Structure 1
Amino acid sequence: MTIPATQAAVIFEKSNGPLIYKTDWPVTQAKELKPGEALVKITHSGVCHTDLHALKGDWPLDTRLPLVGGHEGVGTIVAIGEGTTTNRKIGDRVGIKWLADSCLDCEVCRRGQEATCSNAVCSGFAVHGTFQQYAVSYVRHLTPIPAGLDPVQAGPILCAGVTVWKAIKQSNTNPGDYILISGAGGGLGHLALQYAAAIGLRPIAVDTGEEKRKLCMELGAEKFIDFRTSQDIKADIRAATDGLGPHAAVIASSSAAAYNDALEYLRNHGTLVAVGLPADSYIKANVFWTVFRALRIVGSYVGNRQDAIEALDFAARGKVKAIVKVQPLKSLAEVYEGMEKGTVSGRIVLETGA
């Protein structure tokens, strides 16, 4: 396959930008790839709130600078580094996720928790990501895209989908249980509703606004609770769940208050699954009541390679569908602006033009 010398990409050189759309960003050539690396021609890339955190530099982690962000890329392998041992081949359709690589040999990797590997490398954070037309990634962590799955749909599943699917798997719930999704109308939450409904859980949606209420109900929520108009959100949540509270709460929003509220409205033996990342926030759990009510607090940080395959399979079978708006790569700054204002429903996918 012909590999151009330059490409379109969106970069930033310092925290908080500005974002720079370039058409002469260099493309890594096949001879430059190291063993274990592949060059993927990116046609589509989802946009995640984590990408906005990378731009703003508001995590207590060092971000590579300058940086091409993005980690929900879908494309085709066009080159593989010489000396690489892999079943992947040129022409395979693959996805690039947040987790670009891990050692696969330490204790957490062997237990299927490679995201927390001490040698983990993240796309669009520690290495250049998918807001470009050609991206270098590590072959062993590329995810095969099911035949027939629209790349526009596959992009959001590679991060938002796998993240909430993993969170639901960790929620300690069974079919018929109530599961509350906070931020249910957003990019993560609207997918969480569908995964929950697909496995027989009873989703309760928390978000705000008529547009998001309508979306959540269409996607399988049993009840919608507007946190802005509710006079007593904890009481409203308990009332929607047989008066006892949900069996689990997946906090997919970036609201610090949502975490501490959950510890009060969960039913006994309930599970709080922490997903959203409000800046500089703490979960304040009363030790006595946490023990006395046997509550569980679980941090859920993306998923492993198998979780990604499972998450994509739901989409390929039509059980989960991302609500997507497609925009050109050069519109990324406008997308971030909408995300910061909270006006984005569902998910944004960028077409790279590759």
Structure 2
Amino acid sequence: MSYRIPQVQRAAFLTCAGGDLTIKSDHPVIQPSELLPGQCLVKLSHSGVCHSDLSIRHDHYAIQCKSNLVGGHEGIGTVVAIGNGTTKTSVKVGDRVGITFMGESCLECEMCMKGHEAQCHNLKSCGYQIDGTFQEYAIAYVSHVVPIPDSLDSAAAAGLLCAGFTVYMALRDSETHVGDWVVISGAGGGLGHLAVQYAVAMGLRVIAVDTGEDKKTFCLKLGAEKWIDFKESKDVAQDIIDIADGLGAHAAIVAAASSSAYETAASYLRRKGYLMVVGLPPHSLLSVPILLVAVKCLTIRGVFIGNRQDIREAVALAAAGKVSCFHTIRGLSELETVYDEMEHGKVVGRVVLDISK
């Protein structure tokens, strides 16, 4: 099987972190003969838009990224070429695969050898250090692309490739067991609505925290057992304690980019509870009473992205019908508008770009 590869393509890129967003139709396409061993070329059909893309857009991370950066790290597409000399891979031309934030890790350093590829000392992040998925053709590494099962729609699968497996990892690492109470802050958002579904699939009892009747209906439909509107509640922490057997929740998954959500969590967690740091409010510090952490023996654990096995497990649950990414489809040409809507909290679920539009 062979594909005709054009010389140029449409791509959305930043001149630099915090710079202007530009969409051009004459961005070069790396040709098959230029691929290195281990690389493949993927013709993208869809890409999710993650809140971290917006943070990179505004340079919230203050970490140097490449100039003229093509953003995006939730891409779905077809492998159209594989670099000469590539060995020991099951990836074939014609396969449908996903591209994640973990663009390339060395697989040889201490972190990689321990199964923590996302913490690789030589990690190259897709859509940050290397060009990402807001383009028609992207370079990826065969060792890091994710096989997409036939039962998953491409647009629906895109949102799983960062948001999905990040919250899956958070839940898995929260040391919760079937029947435990878990609080999900920002439950109606892009990360949160997936966390609700993964938690339910794991047999956890979900307390959804967010605001608005639409999100309440949404979260309860997804399987949340209880709902708390943080704008209407007089005491969110006490409400959670009352629901969770008078003892508090076993774990808190803070999917909201809100420092106040973190400040509240320590108060409603029960003894030996876990506070999972997922949402990333820019320029914020974690403010938690040290005495409370010590007395309750709380664990505070950061969650960035998982490893290659995590994403396969997260995708498998979706392929089995246990999790579905609620999304709206927009065109690549609408990316600037999408960023504006995300910044003003107007997005429910995830936005997925149709790269052809």
Q: Structure 2-normalised TM-score?
A: 0.97
Pairing 1:215-294 to 2, within 5 Å after superposition? 215-294=218-297
Q: Kindly provide the amino acid, as one letter, of the partner of residue 137 in structure 1.
A: A
Asked whether 1:171 is paired with 2:174, we answer yes
- Give the alignment's Cα RMSD to 1 decimal: 1.1
C-alpha displacement at 1:285, in angstroms? 3.1
Aligned to 1:36: 38
Aligned to 1:149: 152
Indicate if the aligned counterparts of 1:57 and 1:63 stay in contact, CA closer than 8 A.
Answer: no
Cα distance per residue 1:162-190 (max 9 Å; x no partner)? 00000000111000000000110000000
Asked whether 1:134 is paired with 2:124, we answer no
Q: Kindly provide the amino acid, as one letter, of the partner of residue 206 in structure 2.
A: P
Cα distance per residue 1:186-240 (max 9 Å; x no partner)? 0000000000001100011111111111111111111111111221111122122
Q: Kindly provide the amino acid, as one letter, of the partner of residue 33 in structure 1.
A: L
Q: Kindly provide the amino acid, as one letter, of the partner of residue 135 in structure 2.
A: Q
Q: Kindly provide the amino acid, as one letter, of the partner of residue 86 in structure 2.
A: T
Count of matched residue positions in the alignment of Structure 1 and Structure 2:
354
C-alpha displacement at 1:148, in angstroms? 2.3
Q: Kindly provide the amino acid, as one letter, of the partner of residue 59 in structure 1.
A: Y
Aligned to 1:87: 90
SS at structure 1 position matched to 2:13: strand
C-alpha displacement at 1:105, in angstroms? 1.2
Indicate if the aligned counterparts of 2:42 and 2:137 stay in contact, CA closer than 8 A.
Answer: yes
Aligned to 1:13: 15
Supply the distance in 2 between the matched residues of 1:14 and 1:108 (Cα, whole angstroms): 29
SS at structure 2 position matched to 1:136: strand
Q: Kindly provide the amino acid, as one letter, of the partner of residue 343 in structure 1.
A: K
C-alpha displacement at 1:16, in angstroms? 3.2
C-alpha displacement at 1:289, in angstroms? 2.4
Indicate if the aligned counterparts of 2:16 and 2:66 stay in contact, CA closer than 8 A.
Answer: no
Asked whether 1:73 is paired with 2:75, we answer yes
| 1:317 aligned residue (301, 317, 320) | 320
SS at structure 2 position matched to 1:270: strand
Asked whether 1:120 is paired with 2:123, we answer yes
SS at structure 2 position matched to 1:38: strand
Supply the distance in 1 between the matched residues of 2:318 and 2:224 (Cα, whole angstroms): 18
C-alpha displacement at 1:298, in angstroms? 0.5
C-alpha displacement at 1:14, in angstroms? 3.0
Q: Kindly provide the amino acid, as one letter, of the partner of residue 186 in structure 2.
A: G
Supply the distance in 1 between the matched residues of 2:96 and 2:158 (Cα, whole angstroms): 12
| 2:342 aligned residue (339, 342, 348) | 339
Asked whether 1:58 is paired with 2:60, we answer yes
Aligned to 2:192: 189
SS at structure 1 position matched to 2:272: coil
Q: Kindly provide the amino acid, as one letter, of the partner of residue 350 in structure 1.
A: L
Which piece of structure 1 moves more, 13-22 or 208-217? 13-22
Indicate if the aligned counterparts of 1:104 and 1:110 stay in contact, CA closer than 8 A.
Answer: yes
Aligned to 2:28: 26
Indicate if the aligned counterparts of 1:184 and 1:206 stay in contact, CA closer than 8 A.
Answer: yes
Indicate if the aligned counterparts of 1:153 and 1:315 stay in contact, CA closer than 8 A.
Answer: no
Q: Kindly provide the amino acid, as one letter, of the partner of residue 108 in structure 1.
A: M
Unpaired runs of 5+ residues, structure 2, are none
Q: Kindly provide the amino acid, as one letter, of the partner of residue 148 in structure 2.
A: I
C-alpha displacement at 1:18, in angstroms? 2.5
Supply the distance in 2 between the matched residues of 1:167 and 1:193 (Cα, whole angstroms): 12
- Runs of 4+ with >2 A deviation: 14-18, 284-289
Supply the distance in 2 between the matched residues of 1:343 and 1:7 (Cα, whole angstroms): 30
